[in-house]
Amino acid sequence: MALPDLIARLEHDAQAQVETIVQRADAEVRAIEAATAGTLAEAAARARTERRTALRATLQRDVSQARRQARTDVLEARRTLVARVLQRARSLAADGASAPRHQETGARQLEDVMSYLEGLDVRVRCSADWASVLQEVASRRGIRLEIDTAVGPGFVAEAIDGSVTIDHTFAARLDRHEGQLAIDLMAEVGRERG
């Protein structure tokens, strides 16, 4: 084999090797590009999923917060309504306390309270308006009746030794029943709306 044939053969082999290397390099580039595209697609999908998840969490948190605020607003409106109604009831009770029908029940109420305080030395504090109503029961039971302008409609019965005090004024009775009155009021409002 002559030198030119050998060179031609070497050039041909070299060209074949270059083409094989180029083909392998092209295949590797395509494989890398495909893998990169797949990785990018997966990363983009993960990013979209993470973003959706974050948005859902933010939305759920915002909705929960809005619901809590709405419940707070409703409860505050109810509390305000109950407070206004009870304030009006206190006002009406104070205005109507000297009405004959309320005073007529005063003697019976004192009898009921005295059945609880049986056997104790008792004094009863009340307004001058109520003293005339309670006087008969007080005299019959030996109760000391004291006029006290600070006592509103109703009376306060106290054991002389300080062991028991029963505040039977309209305001105190309303205070004792305020929770149940609030429940009843809200139930009535609900029935009217429903």
Domain count, the chain: 2
Domain membership flag for residue 140: yes
Residues 3 and 58 in one domain: yes
Average pLDDT value over all residues in the chain = 84
pLDDT at 164 exceeding the cut of 90 = yes
Which residue, 96, 128, 157, sits at the end of a domain?
96
Mean pLDDT (whole number) for 35-50: 84
- What is the pLDDT, as a whole number, of residue 155? 92
Alpha-carbon span 184 to 187, nearest angstrom: 5
- Tell me how many degrees the CA angle 155-160-163 measures, rounded to the nearest 5: 90
Q: What is the pLDDT of residues 106-132, one digit of tens each?
A: 888 999 999 999 889 999 999 888 888
Which residue, 78, 96, 114, sits at the end of a domain?
96
Residues 58 and 133 in one domain: no
Encoding tokens for residue 27?
A: 């295949």
Residues 70 and 88 in one domain: yes
Q: What is the pLDDT of residues 62-104, one digit of tens each?
A: 889 989 898 888 878 888 888 888 888 777 766 655 555 666 7
Encoding tokens for residue 45?
A: 């999908």
Alpha-carbon span 158 to 69, nearest angstrom: 46
- What is the pLDDT, as a whole number, of residue 99? 57
Domain extent, residue 45, equals: 1-96
- What is the pLDDT, as a whole number, of residue 165? 94
Give pTM, 2 decimals.
0.55
pLDDT at 146 exceeding the cut of 70 = yes
Q: What is the DSSP string of 107-124?
A: HHHHHHHHHHSTTS-EEE
Residue 135 maps to which CATH number?
3.30.2320.30
Which residue, 45, 80, 96, sits at the end of a domain?
96
Alpha-carbon span 57 to 194, nearest angstrom: 34
Residues 75 and 128 in one domain: no
